[in-house]
Chains A and B, each alone.
Chain A
Amino acid sequence: MPGSDGSPAARREIVRIANEAALGPLARVLASTLPPHAFLALDGDLGAGKTTFVKALAAAAGIDPAEVVSPTFGLVHVHPLPEGHPACRLVHADLYRLAGCDDLFELGWEELTAAPGWVAAEWSTRIKPALPADRLDIFLEVESETARRASFTSQASAFGPLFEALARLDNASPG
């Protein structure tokens, strides 16, 4: 669906996550439909569940979730995906402490994001001008103490299978 200006129109799906257990099925949908080179821009308040979300995605892709700890201090953690996985690795970044895009150079950001793999970047709005156009935006909102709402937005066609799967997930659990 091209937009009137020729740029592809953004697709959006909103998924309600009733509790942490419900995160598992959603993470499995992601893990099975993400392209091998995918940038996930993950935002939401402190305590919204960004790291928990990445932990669930890692678990769904075969990484020991206990290995996936908050990267706030270390800034970037690189987790190899199981042997033979097309995405090779999951780069888990937390950009909360960054002052801006200038700090990315020191992080080796280009090397981390140019190679095939999944990049899950928490607090991505800290580096908005440096975000790739073909990213998947994921915004987490607190609904209640246990429930979250996740909005997925992207204009990249590579996420087509994901959006179709999310739409099916949404239809399967109305409300």
Chain B
Amino acid sequence: MPLLAIETTCDETAAAVIDRSRRVLSSVVASQDELHARWRGVVPELASRAHVERIVPVIDEALARSGVARESLEAVAVAVRPGLVGSLLVGLSAAKGIAAVLGCPLVGYDHIAAHLYACRLAHGERMTYPCVGLVASGGHTSLFHLRSPLELERLGGTIDDAAGEAFDKAAALLGLAYPGGPSMERAAARGNPAAHRFPRPLATDRERMDVSFSGLKTALRYRVRPPGAPDDTPLPTGQALADLAASFQLAVVETILAKVDLALAKTKCRVLAVGGGVTANTALREALERLGKKRRVDVLIPPRELCTDNAAMGGIAWERLERGEDDGLELDVRPGTDRSAARGR
């Protein structure tokens, strides 16, 4: 019998039905990007209200598409961290309600670990442990050493902005639409990535596995509006815009790549699992695949719909259910940062 997974960690209201063999029977995502575009980002009040409006229809839709009757569910899983408290609580309340009615196990999971588990769903037995995991999204940029699906040791990550946040802020500086990742990628398509040499701080440090994108954002700001330039300095357009976007994108990709390379060298792992919305970026995917070929490492990148936020990756809950674990109705949300997310279970 399958499980129902619910995800309300941030932008997306999502639900999915996954069976014990890790087959995704249905996966429904109601993106809130349209709502957030007006405010250039995630607005907590708005996010939790939108989750409330969408959670029941999204769950109903996931069940309908899977052809599984609610009574046939074996368990309910829900992402309990990291994220905004208000948003997390919407998913948790819905999950508790269903688990209480069905009298079935209720299992919480870590959104970050689940992002990497998407590789297990997409690539099955190729996902072996130990492996190196890269999560790059709007709110997270971290490298992990995974001993099992649930045991993540954080190797490093951003010391300031997340990769997706860097794209969002760059897009804002260039007058492009939110979310920044896709609009930067579109703008970069016809640009010359060698037109501007943007900084890659920490990239040459062969000890630390941390990355920094704050200086890169500031460097872009100076290209767009040099110190002392008037506030109404016109924004770049046409080829100038394409070159800035392409050069910025290359700097982000190379910064991440340098640390992935270091993590693979240090851990000697033969598998790299990748997750998070930023890995939908074609330049990053291609660069990671080239690195894999060079290092003879199996690079596992899920299809786009499993990279961006979704509930199918909640299939990670099977790992806990198979151990006989059940959080029960005492389950609570655990908001927090990227760092705290990876600590403990």
Contacts and interface: CB of A to CB of B under 8 A. Distances in A.
B12 interface: no
B102 interface: no
B221 A72 contact: no
Most buried by B among A70, A77, A103: A70
A96 B41 contact: yes
A27 interface: no
Interface string B225-236: 001000000000
A102 B45 contact: yes
B139 A67 contact: no
Given A52-B214, A66-B210, A144-B227, A72 B222 contact: no
Chain B interface extent, by class = 35 or more
Contacts of B46: 99, 103
B160 interface: yes
Nearest to B156: A66
Given A46-B172, A67-B339, A106-B48, A75 B40 contact: no
Interface in B76-120: 82, 84-86
B169 A46 contact: yes
Given A46-B173, A47-B218, A70-B160, A97 B227 contact: no
Given A46-B221, A51-B160, A72 B41 contact: yes
Given A108-B85, A143-B227, A144-B227, A73 B45 contact: no
A69 B158 contact: yes
Interface string A57-85: 00000000111011011110100000000
B159 interface: yes
Contacts of B185: none
A70 B210 contact: no
Interface string B41-61: 111111010000000000000
Contact of B39 (A55, A77, A97): A97
Interface in B96-152: 138-140
A75 B87 CA distance: 13
Contacts of A49: 218
A98 interface: yes
Contact of A72 (B39, B48, B165): B165
Contact of A46 (B39, B43, B139, B217): B217
B227 A98 contact: no
Contacts of A51: 160-161, 214
A9 interface: no
B139 A74 contact: yes
Interface centre among B41, B158, B217, B222 (most CB of A within 10 A): B41
B204 to A, nearest CB: 18
Contact of B138 (A67, A73, A106): A73
A102 B161 CA distance: 26
A75 B44 contact: yes
Interface string A26-62: 0000000000000000000111010110010000000
Nearest to B39: A99
A149 to B, nearest CB: 11
A142 B45 contact: no
4 cross-chain pairs, A with B, having the tightest CB-CB distances, nearest first: A73-B139, A97-B41, A47-B221, A47-B218
Interface of A: 45-47, 49, 51-52, 55, 65-67, 69-70, 72-75, 77, 96-99, 102-103, 105-108, 142-145
Given A67-B339, A70-B161, A74-B337, 20 more contacts: A45-B221, A47-B220, A49-B218, A51-B160, A52-B160, A69-B158, A69-B159, A69-B160, A70-B158, A73-B139, A74-B139, A96-B41, A97-B39, A97-B44, A98-B43, A98-B44, A99-B43, A106-B86, A108-B85, A142-B221
